Amino acid sequence: MTIDIDWVRAQFPAFSQPSLKGQAFFENAGGSYTCQPVIDRLTRFYTERKVQPYGTFEASRLGGEEMDEARRRMAAILGVETDELSFGPSTTQNTYVLAQAFGQMMKPGEAIIVTNQDHEANSGPWRRLAERGIEVREWQINPETGKLEIEKLEALLDERVRLVCFPHCSNVVGEINPVVEITAAAHAAGAFVCVDGVSYAPHGFADVGHMGPDIYLFSAYKTYGPHQGLMVIRRALGELLPNQGHYFNGGTLYKRFTPAGPDHAQVAACAGMADYVDAFAAHHNTDTRGVHGVMRDHETQLLQHMLDALRGRNDLRILGPTEAARRAPTVALDLGRAAKPVAQELAKHGIMTAGDDFYAVRALEAMGVDPAKGVLRLSFTHYTTRAEIDQALSALDAVL
Ligand SMILES: Cc1ncc(COP(=O)(O)O)c(C=O)c1O
């Protein structure tokens, strides 16, 4: 099934804004455009339901119901039970809370494994457990390829390891890590698994229940939704970890790791992401899992075209694989010089992109890139067109 790109773009009001006309968007890994159903739900919540939810009067009841609907439908898409999904302010805050919980549960001398491929959100909070006597082992990437090699993980695993943290794909290397295989290796050694799905989720919601990790995190503002962090915590782990919420809420799984009061409107509006997935499926005559495939096929075609063109240049280094099938369309380029001024030049050609370290400082350093210079990152999604890719490539010709 081929993507109906006109239909897709009609679901995103940004594409019809006069102020954005002619601007090709290549900073999607920083935050995507928002789909119409999410905007509609946010507007409705703020105009009709902006009261304390779960109360006795109609507006309150509807607000609470919509929040429950968001959790129920997104959990179904992710292949987990409704109460195994919780919402927090951001992925970084979610990992921070989870790290507190692990810190309280673990004993000195026990170990965790983190990578140097991750965004700092799935790295720093865990590494701080060293202050509590937890041994922190680093699963290091191959400095040439940026790859996380599973043999290196196996050498780090033993009976002292309680947790393995890694990304579904890194926001600068882009390579899709084999979550099922890594999870199986960690589980076989008796460790739990925490996957940062932030960079992968915009390209298709994973069947987390099937893949097996104990924790799977992503950020809705990068998956066409509002500014929320979504966090799957499978029941066995969620009930084992000490409650981080109010003591009287500890019996409700989805309240145990979100200590702050939730952003009601944004949680409710997350149901709009499910509306989008359902509408996408219906329009393309497929089901939820099929949506992932249709998006991926389109992205992979455009990505291979982009990678082939970039590969022909001798003034840059592509981080991560150059075969589209192995990676996400989040392409970081080492220019050997400061990337931000190049992004500024590209903006004059209607290319919205960024030059930065993207909080993946450890990955850049490991690959020999000076984080102060950063990388130029071209990131796109299923709503991007071939014409926009060509616009970006021509702009690079002009600017580099
Ligand atoms: C791969 C990855 N993980 C985690 C995060 C942090 O997400 P949040 O902004 O929701 O804290 C980001 C944000 O850019 C990211 O790209």
CA dist 309 and 305 (Å) reads 6
* Residue partners of 63: CB distance under 8 A and separation at least 6: 45, 49, 50, 51, 53, 54, 264, 268
Asked, for residue 37, whether it belongs to a domain, the answer is: no
CA dist 241 and 257 (Å) reads 9
Asked, for residue 110, whether it belongs to a domain, the answer is: yes
Q: Give the domain-ending residue among 252, 274, 296.
A: 274
Write the CATH number for 353.
3.90.1150.10
Question: Which ligand 1 atom sits nearest the alpha carbon of residue 92?
Answer: 11
Distance 159 CA to ligand 1 centre (A): 30
- φ and ψ at residue 312, rounded to 5 degrees: -75, -5
Q: Give the domain-ending residue among 274, 299, 319.
A: 274
Write the CATH number for 104.
3.40.640.10
- φ and ψ at residue 229, rounded to 5 degrees: -105, 130
Question: Which ligand 1 atom sits nearest the alpha carbon of residue 167?
Answer: 1
Asked, for residue 158, whether it belongs to a domain, the answer is: yes
pLDDT at 141: 98
Q: C-alpha distances in angstroms, 239 versus 30, 243, 250, 289?
A: 33, 8, 9, 29
Q: Are residues 320 and 363 in the same domain?
A: yes
Question: Are 356 and 374 spatial neighbours (Cβ–Cβ below 8 Å)?
Answer: yes
Q: Which domain holds residue 236?
A: 42-274
Q: Are residues 100 and 185 in the same domain?
A: yes
Q: Which long-range contacts (CB under 8 A, 24 or more apart) does 6-10 make?
A: 7/283, 8/280, 8/382, 8/383, 9/383, 9/385
Verdict on whether the full-model pTM lies above 0.85? yes
pLDDT at 214: 98
pLDDT at 1: 84
User: In this structure, which residue's CA is closest to atom 13 in ligand 1?
Assistant: 30
pLDDT at 384: 98
User: In this structure, which residue's CA is closest to atom 4 in ligand 1?
Assistant: 121
Q: Give the domain-ending residue among 274, 307, 337.
A: 274
Q: How many domains does the chain have?
A: 2
Of all helices (H) and strands (E), which one includes residue 354? Answer: strand 354-356
Q: Are residues 176 and 294 in the same domain?
A: no
Q: Are residues 20 and 126 in the same domain?
A: no
Question: Which ligand 1 atom sits nearest the alpha carbon of residue 93?
Answer: 11
Q: Are residues 304 and 166 in the same domain?
A: no
CA dist 180 and 353 (Å) reads 32
- Ligand 1, pocket residues at CB < 6 Å: 90-92, 119, 121-122, 167, 171, 196, 198-199, 219, 229
pLDDT at 337: 98
Question: Which ligand 1 atom sits nearest the alpha carbon of residue 199?
Answer: 1
Q: Are residues 207 and 297 in the same domain?
A: no
Q: Are residues 169 and 25 in the same domain?
A: no
Q: Is 400 helix (H, G, I), strand (E, B) or coil?
A: coil
List the one residue out of 70, 118, 26, 137 whose CA is nearest residue 272: 70
Distance 31 CA to ligand 1 centre (A): 9
pLDDT at 282: 98
Q: Which residues of the chain have pLDDT under 70?
A: none
